[in-house]
Amino acid sequence: MKIAIASKGNSLDSLLDMNFGRCECFIIYDTENKEVEVLSNPNKDALEAAGTTSVQLMAARSVSKIVAGEFGMKIKPLLDSLRIQMIVFNKPETSVRKLISMLNH
Amino acid sequence: MSPRNTTLRKVVNPPQIKGFKPYGAENSKLNSEPVILLLEEYEALRLCDYDHCNQLEASVLMGVSRPTFTRVYASALRKIAKAFVEARVISIKGGRVYFDSDWFHCRSCGCFFNNPDKEQTIANCPLCCSDEISGYDYACG
Ligand SMILES: [Zn+2]
């Protein structure tokens, strides 16, 4: 299963981004093979529709869950209809590495 | 309460905070009575001025009529103006809202998550796997 983490940077030490649609990078963690893929967000500077385009990107990568500090209002019904689970984590000081260790339980 | 106020308004995500506090005023000048900003008012403001929806789109997203939306939005602006001018605390709570899909809160790691598959029941937090989870009812927050 692939889990995307909205990240402020491109490394495991980067911090969780509080904004899903306009985050710097998506770090996609595959729970089966423990591999990590870093995708820079092509929509981060978009004035409009950053969120919806990011949703399409997640769907194209077959992501099942997304961790972010916040999801935009237009985003949730889209993710709902795609059956992608949203995990809202309001702790901006959390690193991607820490989140992955949490996901590994 | 008038009948038109009985419709529940759809809200997607909870605000990250419980409210705002003014600073810079002498304590004695702080107005002690907070302004209560209802969750639907918060959501209306967020849809229009943060997510840049127009009022029609926003009313559809919240599941209310356009006139109702306009009323809720106008009320949000008035309350915030009042708080700013009169140096009052803004407390965000209450209102007649529901959330689109079932949401849960994990007491162990503090995350919020939804259940995208309504056929499946959720027993564990998807982030930390704790079973210390409970349904999250924003309307009562
Ligand atoms: Zn948890």
| Sequence spans of domains, chain A | 2-104
Model pLDDT, residue A91: 93
What is residue A7's predicted lDDT score, i.e. its pLDDT?
97
Q: What is the pLDDT of residue B139?
A: 41
DSSP codes of every residue in B85-107: HHTEEEEE---SEEESS-EEEET
CATH 2.20.28 residue ranges of chain B are: 101-141
pLDDT for B117: 73
- Spans of chain A, pLDDT less than 70: none
Assess A84–B contact: CB distance below 8 Å, yes or no: yes
Q: Which two tokens stand for residue A34?
A: 């423990």
Class of domain B101-141: mainly beta
A95: which strand partners?
Answer: A15
Q: Chain A residues with CB inside 8 Å of B108's CB? A: none
Locus of tokens 């106008």? B74
Classify domain A2-104 by CATH number.
Answer: 3.30.420.130
Phi then psi for residue B12, to 5 deg, are -90, -60
So what's the pLDDT on residue B5? 42
**Residue pairs between chains A and B whose CB atoms are closer than 8 Å:** 70
For residues B73 and B127, is the Cβ–Cβ distance under 8 A? Answer: no
- CB contact under 8 Å between B126 and A87, yes or no, is yes
Answer for the pair A58, A66: CB distance below 8 angstroms, yes or no.
Answer: yes
pLDDT tens for chain B, 141 residues long, are 334 444 566 666 667 788 999 988 776 667 789 999 998 899 999 999 998 999 999 998 888 899 999 999 999 999 999 999 999 999 998 776 655 677 899 999 999 999 887 667 889 999 999 999 998 864 433
Can you list the positions of beta strands (E) in chain B?
9-11, 19-20, 31-37, 88-92, 97-99, 103-106, 112-114, 133-135
